[in-house]
Amino acid sequence: MDIRAIQFRSTGGPEMLEEVRLAVPAPGPGEALVRHTAIGVNFIDTYHRSGVYPATLPAVPGVEAAGIVEAVGEGVAHVAPGDRVVYFCAVPGAYCEARTLDARWLVKLPDGIADEEAAAAWLKACTVEFLVERCAKVGAGDHVVVTAAAGGVGLLLCRWLSEIGATVIAITSSPAKAELARAAGAHHSLSYSDMPGTVRAITGGRGAEIVLDGVGRATFEAALDSLAKRGLLVSFGNASGKVGPVDFGLLATKGSLFTTRPTLFDYYATPEDFTAGTARVFAMWPKLRITIGQRYPLAEAARCHADLEARATTGSALLIP
Ligand code: NDP
């Protein structure tokens, strides 16, 4: 089968993304062929394209989509042709009309969840699930600082955290984004320059128990300075660049702090993790009220990446094949 796809031959800016035609192989044992109806865009796609994370060239970016199963290979029993499915996966290749992939990533969609909603939030909601419940183990009453709080992951963090009784301190770069974060359940919304001073004022001088930071290099020190003694920084992304070499002693001088740099795939590494994590995400789904901030035709993937990297998007972005 011949399909349209977005590919980059060498790493670089959004202009590296070009439309090509590719052949999709029939599914082998354990695989399925999925025709995409909506493709989720994630910041990690820009890391693959720019070379921040390694990619085997030429490469098709994208790690998340929803669609219809067209065919399955030998040994695949949990999905069948005609099923509506969503997936995230460790192997990029989702920016295309259809792909063949390891069927273990595929999850059947219940009738109540539309394809676009699923593609917009599946990877991001699973990320929020592991960050909040299994990595940071947030409890009711904890003060949690969320940076990039009006982004795809950010808005879902605000909704999930407020739902479980945490006090959410949202950090965003504009008043319009601050308003979105508040509408998603954040109790306080601040600008980056308010970290750490206003975070300390809100917490009676103590600092927050937890900072969930996807911005990386630009916010690392301010995030540590926003924490209470023995607080936890979960540094889960590099939207502003990777956190550079760190003086480990900072964790001592700033209050016996903890920090971790987790990834989704380590928390969804076993079938047991996957089953329990995705069940929890489906249970929380009605509370998440997914925000699709922008849709782009698949052919305009470069414009989508440029917007994402210019901080011009809010909520989730989709590519429509
Ligand atoms: P977002 O929709 O959140 O977009 C990124 C946001 O980061 C921007 O909107 C912007 O919000 C903020 N930002 C701050 N500085 C910069 C900068 N220099 N350039 C661009 N953006 C900047 O993206 P996602 O929801 O897809 O991802 C959010 C973060 O979560 C990313 O770092 C991503 O890598 C990470 N992630 C990590 C996972 C993991 O397993 N560890 C899994 C999924 C996502 P503002 O203008 O408000 O600052």
Domains of the chain (ranges; CATH) run 2-109+291-320 (3.90.180.10), 128-261 (3.40.50.720)
Q: How far is the CA of 152 from the centre of ligand 1 (A)?
A: 8
Distance (Å, whole) CA 102 – CA 32: 6
Over residues 196-206, the mean pLDDT reads: 98
pLDDT computed for residue 21 by the predictor: 98
Pairwise CA distance, residues 184 & 179, whole Å:
9
- The mean pLDDT of the chain is 98
Picking from 81, 125, 122, 119, the residue whose alpha carbon sits closest to that of residue 103 is: 81
Average pLDDT score over residue span 141-169: 98
Give residue ranges with CB within 6 A of ligand 1.
42-44, 124, 127, 148, 150-154, 172-173, 177, 214-215, 218, 236-240, 262-264, 308-309, 311, 313
- Would you say 6 and 286 are in contact if contact means Cβ atoms under 8 Å apart? no
CA–centroid distance, 26 to ligand 1, in Å, is 35
251-273: per-residue pLDDT in tens?
A: 999 999 999 999 999 999 999 99
pLDDT level of residue 1 (50, 70, 90 thresholds): confident
Q: At what angle do helices 115-129 and 152-163 cross, to 10 degrees?
A: 70
Cα 228 to ligand 1 centre (Å): 24
Residues 105-115 pLDDT 10s? 999 999 999 99
Query: Could you tell which of 39, 41, 42, 43 is best to mutate to test the pocket of ligand 1, judged by most ligand atoms within 8 Å of the CB?
Result: 43
pTM for this entry: 0.98
Closest residue by Cα to atom 36, ligand 1, is 237
Using CA atoms, how far residue 196 sits from 38, 169, 189, 207, 223, in Å, is: 39, 11, 13, 8, 7
Instruction: Write down the pLDDT at residue 290.
Output: 94
The residue whose C-alpha atom lies closest to atom 34 belonging to ligand 1 is: 237
Q: Which pLDDT belongs to residue 140?
A: 98
Q: Is the pLDDT of residue 12 over 90?
A: yes
Distance of CA 126 to the CA centre of its chain: 8
How many other CB atoms sit within 10 Å of the CB of residue 86? 27
- pLDDT digit string, tens, across residues 21-37: 999 999 999 999 999 99
Half-sphere exposure of 32 (CA within 13 A, CB side): 26
**By C-alpha distance, which of 317, 281, 320, 289 is closest to 109?**
281
What is the rounded CA–CA span in Å between residue 260 and residue 253?
17
pLDDT grade, residue 157 (50/70/90)? very high
Tell me the three state secondary structure of residue 272: helix
Task: Name the residue of 39, 47, 238, 311 whose CB sits within 8 Å of the most ligand 1 atoms, as the mutation to test its pocket.
Answer: 311
Residues 254 and 247 sit within 8 Å (Cβ to Cβ): no
pLDDT reported for residue 229:
98
User: Which secondary structure element, helix H or strand E, spans residue 117, and what is its range?
Assistant: helix 115-129
